[in-house]
């Protein structure tokens, strides 16, 4: 690893970790670029798949998508490993960082003691970097924090071996070999087309159609004797968007930044500018959508299913227009 590690705060943990990791090993890669070239932007609403009894709603591809695809997209040899033994996982991590390696980890937010208690919840796909060790404390660069933090090895082991959905199983990753000559123009073009195809898919529960499917579901919600269900449904939407999803709007802003950065690689600037502006509009609209859900969940007298559903439909229309343009790249 080149001796140029610098902690940075990012919009999203996985894209932030990959940006710092790849850059520290010699290839300068921004967070928007890491997010964009892995075609990570998405939307899915699958009622049959439950999370805490509520439907799966996601604003990006599955966890590990960026870690898995970055090596394929950039032809990087990436070391990846999961463990069945906590002691072995801890010993190997200690050995790696003591040898000067910067290492990415998948963890559970719930067991990381440096997170404020009100921010801890059972989400097993939080990514962070370990860059050293002092006695029994690992030195951590967590992309959602302004400064570096420390974590005792026993506590970190709990976070690395949490049970449940997306169980990390001690997963670690770090680059071994990075190519010198990379054709970013070709890579970006392919990635944009792939993302456009996924967002415009005819499958009714994904992409733009998935956004409209969720909007339709919201429009059918009513107050009745089970107001608790309505409140839980609204807060679940917000949690999936703003906590687990690092902001449904946040991902749209990240992709818009990727499109703007891509202009330097001789792609159609007019299309990139128009699509970027549309995705920023979608991001702002999604945040308004989340605010409407929060307001209604706190005071159900203010719940208006039609208004909330229309706000999500508005965001979907911006995204349909943006990705229809991007198909032409």
Q: Are 110 and 121 in contact (CB under 8 A)?
A: yes
pLDDT at 248: 62
Domain count, the chain: 2
Tell me how far CA of residue 136 lies from CA of 103, 132, 160, 302, in angstroms: 17, 11, 16, 51
Q: How far is CA 284 from the centre of its chain?
A: 17
pTM over 0.85: yes
Q: Are 252 and 280 in contact (CB under 8 A)?
A: yes
Same domain flag for 171 and 200: no
Q: Quick count: other Cβ atoms within 10 Å of Cβ 190?
A: 14
Whether 56 is covered by a domain: the verdict is no
3-state secondary structure the chain: CCCCCCCCCCCCHHHHHHHHHHHHCCCCCCHHHHHHHCCCEEEEEEEEEEECCEEEEEEECCCCHHHHHHHHHHCCEEEEECCCCHHHHHHHHHHHHHCCCCEEEEECHHHCCCCCHHHCCCCCCEEEEEEEEECCEEEEECCCCCCCEEEEHHHHHHHHCCCCCCCCCCCEEEEEECCCCCCHHHHHHHHHHHHHHHHCCCCCCEHHHHHHHHHHHHHHCCCCCCHHHHHHHHHHHHHHHHHCCCCHHHHHHHHHHHHHHHHHHCCCHHHHHHHHHHHHHHHHHHHHHHHHHHHHHHCHHHCCHHHHHHHHHHHHHHHHHHHHHHCCC
Residue finishing a domain among 128, 144, 177: 177
Same domain flag for 212 and 239: yes
Same domain flag for 210 and 297: yes
pLDDT at 53: 87
Structure tokens at 40: 């990570």
Residue finishing a domain among 177, 201, 216: 177
Task: Walk along the chain (329 residues) and give the pLDDT tens digit of each residue.
Answer: 554 678 988 988 999 999 999 999 999 999 999 999 999 999 999 999 888 789 999 998 888 899 999 999 999 999 999 999 999 999 999 999 999 999 999 999 999 999 988 778 778 889 999 999 999 999 999 998 999 999 999 999 999 999 988 899 999 999 998 998 899 999 999 999 999 999 999 999 999 999 999 999 999 999 887 799 999 999 999 988 876 545 567 899 999 999 999 999 999 999 999 999 999 999 999 999 999 999 999 999 999 999 999 999 999 999 999 999 999 99
Same domain flag for 153 and 244: no
Whether 153 is covered by a domain: the verdict is yes
Same domain flag for 29 and 153: yes
Residue finishing a domain among 177, 201, 227: 177
| CATH code, domain with 166 | 3.90.70.10
Residue 157: name the closest of 178, 172, 145, 146 by CA.
Answer: 172
Same domain flag for 149 and 242: no
Same domain flag for 304 and 247: yes
Gap between the Cα atoms of 288 and 321, Å rounded: 19
Residue 215: name the closest of 57, 12, 86 by CA.
Answer: 57
Q: How far is CA 41 from the centre of its chain?
A: 8
pLDDT at 47: 94
pLDDT at 5: 77
Gap between the Cα atoms of 64 and 125, Å rounded: 8
Q: Quick count: other Cβ atoms within 10 Å of Cβ 215?
A: 22
Same domain flag for 172 and 29: yes
Write down how long the chain is: 329
Residue range of the domain that includes 75: 13-41+62-177
Phi, psi of 38 (to 5 degrees): -95, 10
Same domain flag for 168 and 202: no
Q: How far is CA 177 from the centre of its chain?
A: 25
Q: How far is CA 303 from the centre of its chain?
A: 29
């Amino acid at each position: 690893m080149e001796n140029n590690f610098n902690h940075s705060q990012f919009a999203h943990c996985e894209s932030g970790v990959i940006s710092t990791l790849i850059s520290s090993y010699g290839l300068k890669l921004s967070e928007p670029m890491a997010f964009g070239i892995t075609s990570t932007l998405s939307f899915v609403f699958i009622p049959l798949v439950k999370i805490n009894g509520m439907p799966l709603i996601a604003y990006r591809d599955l966890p590990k998508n960026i870690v898995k695809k970055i090596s394929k997209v950039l032809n990087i040899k990436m070391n990846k490993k999961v463990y069945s033994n906590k002691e072995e996982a801890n010993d190997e991590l200690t050995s790696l960082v003591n040898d000067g390696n910067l290492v990415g980890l998948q963890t559970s937010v719930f067991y990381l003691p440096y997170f404020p208690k009100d921010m801890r919840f059972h989400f097993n796909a939080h990514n962070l970097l370990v860059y050293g060790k002092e006695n029994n404390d690992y030195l951590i660069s967590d992309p959602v924090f302004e400064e570096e933090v420390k974590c005792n090895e026993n506590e970190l082991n709990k976070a690395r071996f949490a049970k449940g959905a997306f169980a990390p199983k001690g997963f670690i990753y770090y680059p071994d070999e990075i190519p010198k000559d990379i054709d970013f123009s070709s890579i970006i073009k392919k990635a944009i087309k792939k993302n456009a195809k996924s967002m415009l898919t005819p499958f009714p529960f994904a992409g733009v159609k998935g956004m409209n499917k969720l909007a339709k579901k919201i429009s059918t919600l009513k107050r009745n004797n089970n107001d608790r269900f309505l409140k839980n449904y609204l807060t679940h939407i917000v949690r999936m968007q703003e906590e687990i999803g690092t902001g449904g709007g946040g991902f749209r802003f990240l992709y818009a930044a990727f499109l703007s950065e891509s202009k330097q690689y001789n792609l159609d600037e007019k299309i990139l500018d128009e699509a970027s502006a549309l995705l920023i509009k979608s991001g702002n609209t999604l945040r308004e959508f989340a605010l409407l859900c929060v307001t209604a969940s706190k005071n159900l007298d203010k719940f208006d299913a039609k208004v909330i559903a229309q706000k999500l439909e508005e965001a979907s229309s911006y995204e349909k227009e943006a990705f229809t343009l991007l198909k032409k790249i």
